[in-house]
């Protein structure tokens, strides 16, 4: 069997839930064709993200990696590029860390591009009536951090696999009384399934 690693973050910012990990958990003990899932919840702690991710990649040796996280956006955001910086001003990691102008990898490039077929994914999501965008900024917080560490690690080890990061909106119950957009967990899971299936199809077509 081939392995797909899915990651989502633990809750943060006073919320008791995080839609990213909730959506990923929907794929536990399931498979799509010959692909099975390894689902991991990532601590939103500055010094733990890199080593947690490294241990996951070393253990699972996956064929696809899709990391996810929550954003205040209204759509599924397919992140194009991760940048080599951590810079927090308005919030903090769950450990209390607030890095300012911190380089994530001293030997890393300024940025790394997603190797997911994001344009094909975008087209499939729109075809399935799922609001989406291709985003050119994953921010400079935990989501960009795991995205950058992922692409740096795969590049360092010369792993030629599809990998990248996807932002998902908040859940309706998280935004009651707030002027923040949301999306149902059901639709987020549908989007993630579309992302996975499109990536698998892209691999298979390139292998023909």
Cβ atoms of residues 102 and 96 within 8 Å: no
Which residue out of 24, 124, 143, 149 is catalytically annotated?
143
Residue 118 near residue 198 (C-beta atoms within 8 A)? no
The answer to whether 56 touches 24, Cβ cutoff 8 Å, is no
Tell me which of 24, 67, 149, 167 is the catalytic residue. 167
Helix locations, the chain, DSSP H:
19-25, 49-60, 118-127, 142-157, 185-207
Choosing from 24, 79, 124, 149, the catalytic residue is 79
Active site residue 149: no
The helix (H) or strand (E) run that includes residue 64 is strand 64-70
29 is catalytic: no
Decide if 186 is catalytic: no
Three-state SS for 67-118 is EEEECCCCCEEEECEEECCECCCCCCCCCCCCCCCECCCCCCCCEEECCCCH
Q: 139 phi and psi, to 5 degrees?
A: 85, -160
Q: What tokens does 150 get?
A: 């992922």
Q: Sheet harboring 31-32: ordered strands across?
A: 31-32, 35-42, 2-9, 64-70, 163-168, 76-79, 132-135
Active site residues: 79, 143, 167
């Amino acid at each position: 069997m081939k392995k797909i690693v899915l990651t989502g973050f633990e809750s943060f910012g006073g919320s008791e839930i995080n839609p990213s990990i909730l959506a990923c958990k929907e794929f536990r003990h399931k498979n799509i064709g010959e692909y099975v899932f390894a689902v991991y919840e990532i601590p939103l702690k500055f010094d733990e993200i890199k080593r947690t991710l490294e241990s996951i990649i070393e253990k699972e040796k996956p064929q696809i990696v899709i990391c996810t996280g929550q954003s205040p956006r209204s759509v599924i955001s397919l992140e194009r590029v991760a940048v080599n910086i951590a810079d927090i001003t308005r919030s903090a990691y769950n450990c209390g860390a607030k890095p300012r102008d911190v380089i994530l990898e001293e030997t890393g490039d300024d940025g790394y591009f997603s190797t997911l077929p994001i344009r094909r994914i975008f087209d499939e999501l729109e075809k399935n009536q799922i609001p989406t965008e291709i985003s050119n900024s994953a921010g400079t917080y935990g989501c960009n951090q795991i995205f950058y560490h992922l692409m740096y690690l795969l590049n360092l080890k010369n792993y030629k696999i599809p990998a990248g990061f996807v932002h998902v909106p908040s859940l309706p119950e998280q935004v009651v009384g707030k002027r923040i957009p949301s999306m149902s967990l059901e639709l987020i899971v549908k989007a993630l399934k579309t992302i996975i299936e499109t990536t698998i199809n892209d691999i298979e077509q390139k292998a023909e």
